[in-house]
Amino acid sequence: MRLQVGARTDAGRVRSLNEDVYRVHPEQGLFLVCDGMGGCPAGEVASEMAARSIVEHVNADDGHTANPARDGYLPHSRRLRTAVEHSNQYIFETAQVEPERAGMGTTVVGAWINGPLVSVAHVGDSRVYVLRDGTLDQITHDHSWVEEQVRAGTMSPSAARQHPWRNVVTRALSGGEDPEVDVTEVSPQPGERYLLCSDGLFTVVPDARIAEILGKTGVTLESITRSLIEAANDGGGPDNITALILQIDAA
């Protein structure tokens, strides 16, 4: 299996500071998007800290993958989850010695490709989609107030994109108790494209339009990331926007 990657981030049209951070490590198959919580102190610091901490702890095989109390996932999935949990502790410890950063937080979504498996871990409302055979599927489920209403059937997806509470997350890496980290394991197939993105994209651009852009052929993945960000900015660009695309090719 071969892999192509494209990634881009943009502050959007409203905010002067970009608190989104992404990491691309194709040599080890690790990819991350972290979205610092706007309106909180040092959101850009939290996203950077989380990304750095997760990469460091994924690379450090310190025995956490063999915890018998947390069976059900393959070792790399458990290691990714543990790395995300550790990043929350890192944020907590930093806030203890730097009180001006108390309350900082970030969302995170990570994909770790290992042989025939993609391990996905996330906290918050950054997402992973997969485009297969022209159909866009959302792999992750947002930890947000509006998404809870959508799942309960009390709000439509289109209304959720416009709701004034659309940025309210119910889980985040913010230095409190370890949040529950959702883990999903996916078997990638040649021809599929995976999109990791912050909410600055999907709260503005409908899924149908994301699928249309993500499915373009004859152009580079970097060009597609540019088109996704342009679509979000054309819709007002109210938030930071990050798009990271992975394309699975046959070996």
State the fold for domain 13-186: Phosphatase 2c; domain 1 (3.60.40)
How do residues 172-219 score in pLDDT, each as one tens digit? 998 777 889 999 999 999 999 999 999 999 999 999 999 999 999 999
Tokens 């691309």 -> residue: 24
59 to 78, 82, 93, 217: CA distances (angstroms): 13, 12, 21, 34
Distance of alpha carbon 214 from alpha carbon 192, whole angstroms: 10
Model pLDDT, residue 67: 52
Distance of alpha carbon 211 from alpha carbon 66, whole angstroms: 38
How do residues 92-136 score in pLDDT, each as one tens digit? 898 888 888 878 999 999 999 988 899 999 999 999 999 999 999
- Does the model's pTM come out above 0.75? yes
- 24 versus 158: the higher-pLDDT residue is 24
Any idea where the domains of the chain sit in the sequence?
13-186
Six token digits for residue 74: 């393959």
